[in-house]
Amino acid sequence: MMPQIFHELKSAVVGIAGLGGLGSNVAVSLTRLKVGKLILADFDAVEESNLNRQNYFPDQIGQHKVDASLTNLRRINPEADLEGHKVRLTPEKILTLFDGCDVIAECFDRADQKQMLVETVLSKTKGVVVVSVSGLAGYGRSNEIVTRRISDRLILVGDTVSGAGPGVPLTAPRVGVAAYHQANAIAEVLIGNAGISHDKNRE
């Protein structure tokens, strides 16, 4: 890794909103990349049903996802600068907890929560980039999950169509593909890479 790139990553602060299939895996990737500081927020506990796609283990069932994530990430990098918050995020808490972040990863399950975070960050902060996800349910069709730059401050990952429902579950492969697209987009933002495609039809 080039020294300048390392410096830019090391000095960055990234917020991760939600520690489910997306957030727990985004956090792993960014920890391995040695991003300077990660601020993690989630209100939920690990359940057995989470283990098919989220970065947790059977002996962590019942633990708070924040606590389990901090444990797992520190096994990857004991020197990682990690900050965890066991909260249900609201607009006010987003602005407080993620103050100082360069990028925020939107890793919620529900569409209304996704919209709330994106609207809050874009309307109430300056310069903070949001990397959001829409459309990752099911299996197969990996190449349909793409990364689009919607605007200078909003990047969208997914196929924008596939929602979870009867016969369309959330599976480890597709969730993982989306999570690593998300982590890669965050890395591109932090190192100033303009390689993310710009979707003019979505402006």
Mind listing the pLDDT tens digit for each residue in 35-59? 999 999 999 999 999 999 999 999 9
- For the cut 70, the answer to whether the pLDDT of residue 203 exceeds it is no
Mind listing the pLDDT tens digit for each residue in 167-179? 555 667 888 999 9
Share of the chain above pLDDT 90, in %: 72
Distance in angstroms (rounded) separating the CA atoms of residues 70 and 11: 20
**Which DSSP helix (H) or strand (E) runs through 176?**
helix 172-190
- Predicted TM-score (pTM) of the model is 0.89
Give the pLDDT score at 137: 63
Mind listing the pLDDT tens digit for each residue in 79-93? 999 999 999 999 999
Contact 134, 171 (CB under 8 A): no
- For the cut 60, the answer to whether the pLDDT of residue 193 exceeds it is no
133 burial (CB, 10 Å; 0-12 / 13-18 / 19+) is buried
Find residue 155's DSSP bridge partners.
131, 149
Give the pLDDT score at 7: 76
Q: Under CATH, which number does the domain 3-202 receive?
A: 3.40.50.720
200 burial (CB, 10 Å; 0-12 / 13-18 / 19+) is exposed
